[in-house]
């Protein structure tokens, strides 16, 4: 039985542990090891996660299978009224392809709909196979976006959107 709970600042070490367990296998073939380490440091340091939760008001959800934490997601408002952004969604590889990612995504959708969202948006690396998962969930490509993240690294993403 899967359970979801809202994460707090005290859960940052668990989010970092999940990042360590999930991110490296997910992105090892999609980017150089140096970029992978740079991005983990940039997005998942204690200071960065604290800022995301407290200053940027990103809501984080933790997904459990019984007592085992197996994934997480985060979402936030955007500057556009009614449009929320799925900031992160990560799931242990051994749970992928079994409907568990859809379960976690639907939990995010439930919460943003309750906050009067009309659309959910996300960025996905153009060569990430997760794009096909999002398309199966009703997201369509809105545009391409190139974002400089520092240290001579670029994120070359699709912006995808799903009407709610």
Helices (H), the chain: 12-27, 33-44, 46-54, 100-114, 130-136
Residues 6+ apart with CB under 8 A from 82: 116, 117, 118, 119
**pLDDT score, position 31:** 85
Continuous segment of H or E residues that includes residue 119: strand 119-125
Widest Cα–Cα separation across the chain: 43
Q: 3-class DSSP state for residue 86?
A: strand
Q: 3-class DSSP state for residue 39?
A: helix
Residue 25 structure tokens? 């296998």
Phi, psi of 151 (to 5 degrees): 60, 30
pLDDT tens string, the chain, 164 residues long: the values are 899 999 999 999 999 999 999 988 888 888 888 988 999 999 999 999 999 999 999 999 999 999 999 999 999 999 999 999 999 999 999 999 999 999 999 999 999 999 999 999 999 999 998 999 999 999 999 999 999 999 999 999 999 999 99
In order of their start, the domains of the chain are: 2-118 (3.40.630.30)
By the 10 Å C-beta count (0-12 exposed, 13-18 middle, 19+ buried), 25 is classed as exposed
**pTM score over 0.75:** yes
């Amino acid at each position: 039985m899967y359970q979801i709970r809202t994460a707090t600042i005290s859960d940052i070490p668990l989010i970092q542990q999940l990042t360590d367990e999930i991110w490296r296998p997910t992105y090892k073939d999609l980017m150089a090891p140096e970029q992978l380490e740079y991005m983990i440091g940039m997005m998942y340091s204690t200071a960065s996660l604290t800022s995301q939760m407290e200053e940027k008001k990103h809501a984080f959800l933790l997904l459990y299978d019984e007592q085992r934490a197996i994934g997480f997601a985060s979402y936030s408002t955007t500057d556009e009224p009614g449009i929320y952004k799925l900031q992160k969604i990560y799931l242990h590889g051994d749970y992928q392809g079994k409907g568990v990612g859809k379960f976690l995504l639907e939990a995010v959708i439930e919460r943003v709909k309750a906050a009067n969202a009309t659309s959910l948006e996300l960025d996905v690396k153009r060569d990430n196979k997760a794009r096909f998962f999002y398309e199966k969930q009703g997201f369509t490509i809105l545009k391409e976006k190139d974002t400089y993240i520092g240290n001579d690294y670029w994120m070359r993403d699709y912006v995808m959107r799903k009407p709610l």
